Amino acid sequence: MKQLFTLFIVLSLAFCVQAQEIKFELTHPDPKVCAGAEFVEFPYTTEETAPLKYIIRSEAAFLNMEDFIDLPPSPLVVSIPNLLETGTYTGTLIVMNQDSVESDKMELSVTLFEPFSPGAIEAASTEIELCAEVPHTISGKTPTGGDGNYAYQWKVKVEGEEEETVIEDAVEEKYSPPVNKEGVFTFTRWAKDASCAKEFVPSEGEYVLTVVAKKLPIKPEKPDGEKEPCSSDEKTLYSITNNDCLAQSFKWMLDPQDAGYIASAENTTAYINWNQDFAGDVKLFVYAVNSKGESPASEALNIFVKKGPKTTFINPPHYLCGNQKGVDFEVTELKDCSYEWSVTNINAEIKYKDNTAVVDFPKVNEGVICYINAKTTSEENGCSYLNRYPLEILNGNTPDLLNKIVPKTRNATPHILIYPNPKGDYGYQWYENDTPVPGATEQFYYPGRYDGRTLQQNTNYKVFVYESNSLHCGRFTEDFTTGDFPICCTPSFTVSPNPAKDQLRITIYELRDDVSNNIDVEITDIYGKKQLSIVNCQLSINVINISSLQPGFYFITLTINNQKITEKFIVQK
């Protein structure tokens, strides 16, 4: 602390008869100013309405003063002429009433900064050629004084223009001006701080830059002449033949940019891949470039790009499985053009004619994305358009089904099955009139096994066969309709339990609707001797009492519509 001072403020109330507490408050008791300032302000608030008077006493001579306080409240202005020594001064403000009785005490301080100086930048005049060199960063001295919280602003004046322009993005102490045209440019720096210089003030000196922007005396050329390119062309070659601008490399640009893209550029050559959906006029420019800048654009090469006939795929599948054969693809039919089809990213066989194609897909070990390519070429302008359709091949293969559903009879039981059996690990699902049959998931379809279902006359059957690890990758067999042949000439039956003890249950399969409700039952031993006989047994009674039979082997024969069918069983006691 450089010095102590005390402010005694005596407030006289002209119309008060009785002494009372004075309501007085400093709102900013620690102002900061620059050394050399003529005064310092103490803002305050008060509810008093009578004229107020203050007296300041201090060891410092310049603080000894007295005056009236303006009402309504305004800053209390304290004169500090010729106070140049920097530092912080503290003190106490004593508020007194009209009887000189102490009412309140308030601590305060005043901080003095060194005077602010905005510094200086390098004063220079530089002449450059844009394609050979660009100016270095403009540097200078850091400002001094103030509170150290500096802000910067750069301005530029272009020869031939009346006003200086603020450079919006130049807010640092140093600046590297980008130069993109020829001319004379004068740069100045301005600075300020929050306490001593609240407005920008100019630094000393200026930076004058004279730019000679040399335009390339060349333009791109097409080595193979003036042939107009097609939008489907890839890596069309263009080049330049000299380098008069001391360039380290060249930059190429298309206008409009969506006409294509520069596939590669090396020194004086460039390859362009055109956008096959674009057609029209294009300008090609080249720029000379070195480590610090680039030249203005060269003279443009005017190019007209032709477009091939575009097609659209008609209702293509979203995905397929491996080993799927004979898949049809079609694109829109166009006049006066030829078609060429291919498949990429998978080894598939394709046959095509005009705007249609048929593809046989191979087996796959894992899923893959392939492309069905339909290329159309115009007979008029010779340009092509390649329509690439991405198709997902799932992780699974369609079975090789040369199989048919055929009727069979085994143990006198009619049924149908897939024949021959597909080779591999497959799953099955039988369908009856396009409806899946619950539980019918084997190669054979046995009557009576699935919710009591039996083979029906004039009913359509088919089987969905699929790889066991991919339900999506399957196919249907050829369908089969039972009305094409007479179902089941001979019914069948089973007995249970087997071995039996006292009762034997009979279950009969594949009875036609015209079968009589009564059957004959006969049980014989292994020597053919009749042991039990039931005539005209009703079908609703399917349990027979065999408690009279001795343990051993027996044959049970059913006579149904003059047809006899036999099964064997064992009796155990």
Rounded-to-integer distance, Cα 131 and Cα 129, Å: 6
Residue 246: per-residue pLDDT: 52
Between 230 and 442, the higher pLDDT residue: 230
Both tokens of 441, joined, read 């998931």
497-552, pLDDT tens digit by residue?
999 999 998 887 655 544 555 688 999 998 889 999 988 776 656 788 999 999 99
389-416, pLDDT tens digit by residue?
999 998 888 877 656 676 665 444 456 7
- Mean per-residue pLDDT for 374-400? 90
Q: Which residues touch 258 (CB under 8 Å, ≥6 apart)?
A: 275, 278
Does any domain span residue 230?
no
Does any domain span residue 323?
yes
- Same domain, residue pair 10 and 109: yes
pLDDT higher than 70, residue 377: yes
**DSSP per position, 56-71:** EEESSGGG-EEEEEPS
Q: Which of 76, 87, 80, 83 is nearest to 24 (CA)?
A: 76
pLDDT higher than 60, residue 218: yes
pLDDT higher than 90, residue 340: yes
Point out the domain boundary residue: 353, 369, 397: 397
- Mean per-residue pLDDT for 455-478? 77
pLDDT higher than 70, residue 212: yes
CATH of the domain at 359: 2.60.40
- Same domain, residue pair 414 and 392: no
Point out the domain boundary residue: 113, 141, 163: 113
Does any domain span residue 52?
yes
21-68, pLDDT tens digit by residue?
667 788 888 888 888 777 888 888 887 776 666 666 665 555 556 666
Does any domain span residue 389?
yes
Confidence at 423, pLDDT banded by 50, 70, 90: low
Q: Which of 193, 188, 192 is nearest to 204 (CA)?
A: 188
- Same domain, residue pair 207 and 254: no
Residue 18: per-residue pLDDT: 44
Residue 11: per-residue pLDDT: 40
Between 556 and 25, the higher pLDDT residue: 556
Cβ atoms 194, 147 nearer than 8 A: yes
Least confident of 20-24, 145-149, 557-561: 20-24
- Same domain, residue pair 480 and 501: no
Cβ atoms 292, 366 nearer than 8 A: no
- Same domain, residue pair 196 and 134: yes
Number of domains in the chain: 6
- Same domain, residue pair 24 and 39: yes
Amino acid at 512: R
Instruction: Give the strand pairing for 124-129 and 207-212.
Output: parallel
Where in the sequence is the domain holding 413, given as residue range(s)?
404-484
- Same domain, residue pair 35 and 93: yes
- Same domain, residue pair 513 and 561: yes
Residue 411: per-residue pLDDT: 44
- Mean per-residue pLDDT for 311-321? 92
pLDDT higher than 90, residue 123: no
pLDDT higher than 80, residue 104: no
- Same domain, residue pair 13 and 91: yes
Does any domain span residue 12?
yes
- Same domain, residue pair 19 and 91: yes
Does any domain span residue 352?
yes
Helix (H, G, I), strand (E, B) or coil at 200: coil
Residue 420: per-residue pLDDT: 57
Q: What percent of the chain has pLDDT over 90?
A: 29
Both tokens of 404, joined, read 């048919």
pLDDT higher than 50, residue 7: no
Does any domain span residue 312?
no
Q: Which residues touch 104 (CB under 8 Å, ≥6 apart)?
A: 22, 24, 94, 95
Rounded-to-integer distance, Cα 523 and Cα 554, Å: 7
On average, the pLDDT of the chain sits at 79
- Residue 105, Cβ density class (10 Å: 0-12 exposed, 13-18 middle, ≥19 buried): exposed
- Same domain, residue pair 285 and 367: no
Does any domain span residue 194?
yes
Point out the domain boundary residue: 113, 137, 165: 113
Confidence at 72, pLDDT banded by 50, 70, 90: confident
